[in-house]
């Protein structure tokens, strides 16, 4: 049944990234975090001082995105995530990035791809689709622990506001809004450890093989 394509979607801080990495390791598949491609565009726009709704420059920046050179660390800032959700509403930017993401998905060995529109738009034919959720409060708590474990400091209320604002932008946009594909398996991780979520996801993939 391999090569296998696994599409994972969900809101910010739902745990989809961790899950995607663990599944990719376990099933020996390549992994692409498509959020990094939107972050890379946003990072370039911020660096150049271009307005985030400048579609022409954003499309150019999207064209420059190199999937093999995405620097997770450089793109992790909170301002970059927020800016990413603003450039992500530009349809031409999405078209350019989606082409690159589909090329990655088509590689011989199979892949795990995570984002917001993978099961619905990027890889509608994926063998397995997961839609990972958790309550906004749980997600904010995880994000806070994450920041604190790296020696940082943040306010829970601000993180929660932030997560809600980004959810709204991602679910409310006209082009490729965040929503589960009709054939996606829903995984609510609010009450689950990372290990439990991984075991549940692994069982769903095993079932599909």
The candidate with the shortest Cα–Cα distance to 15, out of 185, 176, 120, 143, is 143
Binding site annotation covers 10?
A: yes
> Tokens 């996606």 identify what position?
184
By the rule CB under 6 A, 14 interacts with ligand C5P: no
> Tokens 């450039």 identify what position?
87
Give the number of residues in contact with ligand C5P, rule: CB under 6 A: 14
**11 Cβ contact partners less than 8 Å away, ≥ 6 residues apart:** 116, 133, 139, 163, 166, 167, 170, 171, 178
Binding mask 100-139 for ligand C5P (x = CB under 6 A): ---------------xxx----------------------
Question: Least CB distance from residue 44 to ligand C5P, whole Å?
Answer: 14
Count of CB atoms within 10 A of residue 44's CB?
A: 19
Binds ligand C5P (CB under 6 A): choice among 31, 139, 166, 185: 166
Distance (Å, whole) CA 159 – CA 163: 6
Nearer to ligand C5P, 2 or 15 (CB): 15
- What are the phi and psi torsion angles at 3 (to 5°)? -70, 145
Binding site annotation covers 18?
A: yes
Question: Least CB distance from residue 14 to ligand C5P, whole Å?
Answer: 9
Nearer to ligand C5P, 135 or 209 (CB): 135
By the rule CB under 6 A, 8 interacts with ligand C5P: no
Binding site annotation covers 15?
A: yes
Binding site annotation covers 17?
A: yes
Question: Least CB distance from residue 55 to ligand C5P, whole Å?
Answer: 15
Binding mask 61-90 for ligand C5P (x = CB under 6 A): --------------------x--xx--x--
Binding site annotation covers 149?
A: no
- What are the phi and psi torsion angles at 116 (to 5°)? -120, -25
Q: Rule CB under 6 A: which residues touch ligand C5P?
A: 12, 34-35, 38-39, 81, 84-85, 88, 115-117, 166, 170
Residue ranges of the binding site for ATP: 10-18
Residue ranges of the binding site: 10-18
């Amino acid at each position: 049944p391999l090569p296998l394509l696994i599409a994972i979607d969900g809101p910010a801080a739902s745990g989809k990234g961790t899950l995607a990495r663990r599944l990719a390791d376990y099933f020996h598949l390549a992994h692409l975090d498509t959020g990094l491609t939107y972050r890379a565009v946003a990072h370039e726009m911020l660096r150049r001082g271009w307005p985030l709704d400048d579609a022409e420059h954003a499309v150019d920046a999207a064209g420059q995105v190199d999937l093999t050179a995405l620097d997770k660390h450089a793109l992790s800032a909170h301002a970059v995530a927020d800016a990413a959700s603003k450039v992500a509403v530009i349809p031409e930017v999405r078209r350019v990035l989606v082409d690159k993401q589909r090329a990655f998905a088509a590689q011989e060995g199979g892949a795990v791809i995570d984002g917001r529109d993978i099961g619905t738009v990027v890889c509608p034919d994926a063998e397995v689709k997961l839609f990972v959720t958790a309550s906004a409060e749980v997600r904010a708590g995880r994000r806070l622990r994450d920041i604190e474990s790296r020696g940082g400091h943040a306010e829970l209320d601000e993180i929660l506001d932030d997560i809600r604002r980004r959810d709204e932008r991602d679910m409310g946009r006209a082009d490729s809004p965040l929503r589960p594909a009709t054939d996606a398996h829903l995984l609510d991780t609010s009450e689950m450890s990372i290990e439990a979520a991984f075991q549940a996801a692994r069982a769903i993939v095993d079932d599909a093989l």
